[in-house]
Structures are given as C-alpha cells and as structure tokens.
Amino acid sequence: MTDFALSYGDHVTRARRDGRPVVALESTIISHGLPHPDNLRVAREIEQTVRDNGAVPATIGMIGGKIVVGLDDAQIEHLALAGDVAKLSVRDLAIAAARRADGATTVAATSAIAAAAGIGVFATGGLGGVHREANLTFDESADLTALARTPIVVVCAGVKSILDVGATLERLETLGVSVAGYATRRFPGFFITDGGFDVDWQLDSPEQVADFIRARRDQEVSDGALVLANPLPADEQLDPALHDRTLASGLAKLAEEGVTGKAVTPFLLAHFHSSTEGQSLAVNVRIILRNAALAARIAAAENAGTAVPVGFAVPA
Ligand code: PSU
Ligand code: MN
C-alpha cells in the first residue's frame, strides 16, 4: 500500500534536524507561470538566492502522487520541462495523489503543505486573487481562502495587476488575512510598483516580521497568514504604459478564445511574456528573486530567536 504522507528532500531533513531556517517555494510559477526553458534556470536561481541569504530552500511539488517538501534538482527539472504537469490547488492534492500524478503546487497548496510541515515563511511572485469581472464569473483564486486558515508568512509583490486589486484587498480583509507592506504603505501590483491602494500596516525589517510570527504564535488567536507585500523599486518595474496596453490586449484575447478557470492566470502571464518581448519576464524574475531573498532573511531572523533542538548542533 502506498504511503501518501508528506515526504522530505534530504536537504530539508538535514536542515530541520540541525535547526536551520527553511523557506518554502512553490512550483506552479515554475511549471505554469514562466516560459520554457527560462523556468528551469529561474527555479535554480530562486533556490540559490535563498541559500545566499542564509536559509535552506524547500521547493514543494508532487512527484508520482507523493507530496515532496524539498524537491531535488532532477525533480525540479522534471516539473519545469515535462509538458503534462498538473496545476494543484489544495483541493486537488489527494485526487492527484490517488492518480499518482506529477503536479505543481499553487500558493494555496504550497502554503497549506508548508504549514503542515512546520515551515513558517514562503516566497512567491504574486498571489492569486479576485479576477476582473468576478461578479459575473465568480473567479476568485483559492489562494485567498487557503491563506485565511494557514499560519504562514507569504512574501509576494502583492497580487498580479491582471486581477482586481481593490476587490482582492477587500476579500483579504473579510477573510481575516493579515496584510502589511514591506517598508511601504502602498500595495504593489506585481509588475508595477504601486497597485493603487494603501494598506493599513507596514513592517520594516526581517526582525519585525519575525516578531509578527512570534506574536501570532504566542497569542494563539489567529491562524491566518500574513501577506507581506514587497514592491519592486519604481525604476525596476514594467513600464506602466506598456503594462496597460499588454493587459488590455491580453484580456481581449482571453475573451476571444473563451479561456476560463485555472487556465486564466497562466494564459495572461504567457501573453505578457510573449508580447513584451521578454521585458515582463525579466521583471517577473526580479520580483521572485527579491522575495526569495527577503523570505530567507525573515526565516533566519525568526530562527535566531528560536532554541536549537537539544542534541543538535548548528553547522558553521
Ligand atoms: N504568481 C506569479 N506566477 C504564477 C502564479 C502566481 O507570478 O504562476 C500562480 C501561483 O501559483 C498562484 C496561481 O497560486 O498562479 C493562482 O492561480 P489561480 O488564479 O488559478 O488561483
Ligand atoms: Mn481562478
């Protein structure tokens, strides 16, 4: 009989044994969010950035029906380059396991798995959220409801500007998800620095975010996530005029081709990457690497205040 319990990559098992900080990473951005073959290179760069900033990366995905916390390089390569990788939200995990599928996990699924594995910090690009015209389509990412019940810090550049940013912020409030800007009170729009909305709170350092984690744990009141919005510096964003044009043509093409459901986000991202001739891709990669670096520094700060399990030494 198959054991469907979470499995751990060797590097993650070692890190946990030694009490070292770990950062969770998702695999949907690799398999569905970035074009081949750049996606494999970027997946490796994300992991290296986490290491360079003092933490151990745990890229999460499903291989042959097993959830793996800490995919190895060959497994990452497989999810990046195989054509038939499923996009897995939380509700898909057990079905995909029953079918012994290979799958990439979204923000929703990655957060839930990371929290179940005892990992408190997760880096991604941008969250899913409320789609434009969701009043007609009901298309709202399961990322939002998953974060409402998952105690994790998600470092992201806000929500993709392809979504309804204001409606997404309203839903995060309703759902009880904590939201703070990193060194800013403006909520970013992923490719663009300023998504057009204020947030109520700002956190200014990895240590302050680590205190959020401790406070939530000590208070034992909320099990919700913190969305930590880390904007790109304005001089690194996608040109806002180019952004608006590309978004308009992408939304028109979406309607023309009748794309719906979980294909919407990958479709729009691919449209951006092809019609900006690599500009949006470069921006997307910058976003992810900056978030990975910050997440690693938060995990390290949180870990610095946590006793190492008795009997284990932290390697030099
Ligand atoms: N952000 C990106 N690229 C992506 C995604 C987010 O920069 O590919 C993925 C994440 O995995 C997120 C998912 O959880 O898109 C949301 O998909 P949907 O809108 O179908 O819930
Ligand atoms: Mn959707």
Q: Using CA positions, which residue lies closest to atom 8 of ligand 1?
A: 33
| Residue 32, domain CATH | 3.40.1790.10
What does the H/E/C string look like for the chain?
CCCCCCEECHHHHHHHHCCCCEEEECCHHHHHHCCCCHHHHHHHHHHHHHHHCCCEEEEEEEECCEEEECCCHHHHHHHHHCCCCEEECHHHHHHHHHCCCCEEECHHHHHHHHHHCCCCEEECCCECCEECCHHHHCCECHHHHHHHCCCCEEEECEECCCECHHHHHHHHHHCCCEEEEECCCEEEECCEEEEEEECCCEECCHHHHHHHHHHHHHHCCCCCCEEEECCCCHHHCCCHHHHHHHHHHHHHHHHHHCCCHHHHHHHHHHHHHHHCCCHHHHHHHHHHHHHHHHHHHHHHHHHHCCCCCCCCCCCC
Ligand having the closest approach to the CA of 133: 2
Burial 240-267, CB ≥16 within 10 A → b, else e: eeebeebbeebbeebeeeeeeebebbbb
Structure-token pair, residue 181: 């800007």
Please check whether residue 173 lies inside any domain of the structure: yes
Please check whether residue 99 lies inside any domain of the structure: yes
Determine the pLDDT at residue 315.
Answer: 45
Q: Which domain holds residue 63?
A: 7-304
Domain tally, the chain: 1
- Whether the CB-CB separation of 58 and 12 falls below 8 Å is answered with yes
State if residue 147 touches ligand 1 by the CB under 6 angstroms criterion: no
Ligand having the closest approach to the CA of 106: 1
State if residue 164 touches ligand 1 by the CB under 6 angstroms criterion: no
State if residue 26 touches ligand 1 by the CB under 6 angstroms criterion: yes
Please indicate if the annotation marks 143 as binding a ligand: yes
Tokens 């490719």 locate to 191
* Catalytic annotation, residues: 26, 160
Please check whether residue 229 lies inside any domain of the structure: yes
Picking from 288, 269, 281, the residue whose alpha carbon sits closest to that of residue 160 is: 269
Determine the pLDDT at residue 162.
Answer: 81
Let me know if 10 is exposed, middle or buried by CB neighbors in 10 A (0-12, 13-18, 19+): exposed
Please check whether residue 52 lies inside any domain of the structure: yes
Determine the pLDDT at residue 1.
Answer: 67
Q: Using CA positions, which residue lies closest to atom 1 of ligand 1?
A: 126
Tokens 């940013």 locate to 165
Q: Using CA positions, which residue lies closest to atom 16 of ligand 1?
A: 128
CA separation for the pair 185, 165 (Å, rounded): 15
CA separation for the pair 146, 175 (Å, rounded): 10
What is the whole-number distance in angstroms between the Cα of residue 17 and the centre of ligand 1?
31
State if residue 92 touches ligand 1 by the CB under 6 angstroms criterion: no
What is the whole-number distance in angstroms between the Cα of residue 308 and the centre of ligand 1?
35
Determine the pLDDT at residue 55.
Answer: 98
Let me know if 118 is exposed, middle or buried by CB neighbors in 10 A (0-12, 13-18, 19+): exposed
Query: 240: cis peptide before it, omega within 30°?
Result: no
Structure-token pair, residue 106: 């979204």
Please check whether residue 109 lies inside any domain of the structure: yes
Determine the pLDDT at residue 311.
Answer: 44
Q: Using CA positions, which residue lies closest to atom 7 of ligand 1?
A: 125
Determine the pLDDT at residue 133.
Answer: 87
Structure-token pair, residue 64: 């042959």
Please check whether residue 313 lies inside any domain of the structure: no
Structure-token pair, residue 214: 């401790």
pLDDT along the chain (316 residues), means of 10: 92 97 97 93 98 98 98 98 95 98 98 98 96 92 97 96 93 98 97 96 98 96 96 96 95 93 90 94 96 98 71 45
Ligand having the closest approach to the CA of 154: 1
Please indicate if the annotation marks 194 as binding a ligand: no
Nearest-atom index, ligand 1, CA of 125: 7
Please check whether residue 312 lies inside any domain of the structure: no
